Amino acid sequence: MIDRVNGMTVSVVANVIAINRLRRIRAFQFACMAMLMVGWCVCCTPTAAQQSGPAEIRLRPVAEGFQKPLQILFPPGTHAAMYVVQQDGRIYRLVGQQRNLFLDISDRINASSGEEGLLSMAFEPEFRDGGTLPVGKKCYVNYTAGRPGHTVVAEIPIEMQSGVPTALTSAERRILRIQQPYRNHNGGLLLFGPDRKLYIGTGDGGSAGDPADNAQNPGALLGKLLRIDVTPGRSRPYSIPVDNPFLTRSQFRGEVYALGLRNPWRFSFDKRSGRLYVADVGQNRQEEINLVQAGDNLGWNAMEGELCYPPDSDCRADSFTAPIDVYGRDAGMSITGGYVYRGRELTGWFGHYFFGDYVTGRIWALPLDDATGRAAGAAISIPTETVPDHDLVAGKAGTFSSFGEDQSGELYVTDHSAGRVYRLVSR
């Protein structure tokens, strides 16, 4: 055998080296085979990277005894407090085993139908739970009131009572009121974004098919994602941000951030990228997940997910922003939007968007492309059979009404019917 190294020819020495190397390799392989036969071949053990993969997930109960819970919040602070919003108008604060009533507006809400009531709360960005509470801190609530009903977005100051943060409901300041023509499709979530502006999801007004065409009406607040500044303006109890996309457009309400939504029950901002994901409940055929930017038209009621609505119409699909993922009636009937996972406990799931279905009790994780924020593959079904048997409703795992994200990026989910809160953990 002849090797060439730096132009020099080496023959006999190279042959000897090669033969000795081959003998050592064969001896090493023989030793590995021998050890493998007794079950402990160290040299053949896969690396940690080769062994790692998505951890199996289960639902671990962390709190129970609630009446129709539909939101969980984890404000920053030293107490690691969890706040649970009930549809009946009450919000509880939990720290360990201690539970206190934080807010009660059950005397002013209308919760007579399944989609009405106290639907969400948001703390102002400066709020911290722990230590001395600064004067003037506030929370914001979204609820339905009156008959016929209307949506109310209100500001409520927070004070310390016996060392515990408590909402001073007698000092409520209503900042937005939207008349609701029907008793369904109220949207209901409000959330402060990374830009410290308040985002409000509104449904199309209800009934079926958006009979008043609210979602595509630029002058209506229904069927939209709104964006406001809670600072009072000259002529209204809030301000419209100067960079809102339709502020200078004639016929548009300046509060509109995006339009073409049917019932955006839950949405969230990615803790890492700041991207906005909106889950929109479908009519008859598809549920959808949208990656939303300022000025987007998501298509309803000309489109339902990726399909024309009504089915025999010419919907001009290229005129609208398409969803990043959809699923049909074989998988579910009412999407519950969740969060992009940014925690550490669920190995292998970092960067997946978790969401569920209220009707079928299923949970999925959608892989996302880190560069674009769009879907990078099919959604992965997460087993939910770990829900205790006595929580099963009509043979399904649970009526998952909302997801929550703590300050570490770990995820939680509420079971509306069972009155329970779960945490997603590794098996």
68 and 23 fall within a common domain? no
Total domain count, the chain: 2
126 and 15 fall within a common domain? no
24 and 116 fall within a common domain? no
50: in domain:
no
Q: Would you state the pLDDT for residue 135? A: 62
Round to whole Å and give the CA distance between 194 and 268.
11
84 and 175 fall within a common domain? yes
47: in domain:
no
Q: Would you state the pLDDT for residue 390? A: 45
**Under 8 Å between Cβ of 286 and 256:** no
419: in domain:
yes
Q: Would you state the pLDDT for residue 419? A: 96
48: in domain:
no
Task: Pull the structure tokens for residue 207.
Answer: 């009934």
33 and 66 fall within a common domain? no
Q: What's the one-letter identity of residue 84?
A: V
Q: Would you state the pLDDT for residue 6? A: 36
144 and 11 fall within a common domain? no
44: in domain:
no
Segments forming the whole domain that contains residue 224: 62-426
340: in domain:
yes
CA dihedral 194, 196, 197, 199 (to 10 degrees): 50
26 and 93 fall within a common domain? no
Q: What is the pLDDT along the chain (427 residues), one digit of tens a residue?
A: 333 333 333 333 333 334 344 444 444 444 434 333 333 333 333 323 233 458 889 999 999 999 999 999 999 887 789 999 999 999 999 998 899 999 999 999 998 888 999 999 999 999 988 866 666 799 999 999 998 789 999 999 999 988 899 999 999 999 999 999 998 999 999 999 999 999 999 999 999 999 999 999 999 999 999 999 999 999 999 999 999 999 999 999 999 999 999 999 999 999 999 999 999 999 999 999 999 999 999 999 999 999 999 999 999 999 999 999 999 999 999 999 999 999 999 999 999 999 999 999 999 999 999 999 999 999 999 987 655 544 444 445 689 999 999 999 999 999 999 999 999 999 8
272 and 169 fall within a common domain? yes
Q: Could you give the count of Cα atoms lying within 13 Å of 380 in the half-sphere of its Cβ? A: 17
118 and 7 fall within a common domain? no
**Under 8 Å between Cβ of 131 and 78:** yes
Q: What is the CATH number of the domain that holds 109?
A: 2.120.10.30
94 and 11 fall within a common domain? no
Cα-to-chain-centroid distance, residue 31 = 53
Q: Would you state the pLDDT for residue 276? A: 98
115 and 23 fall within a common domain? no
78 and 186 fall within a common domain? yes
34: in domain:
yes
Q: What is the pTM of this model?
A: 0.86
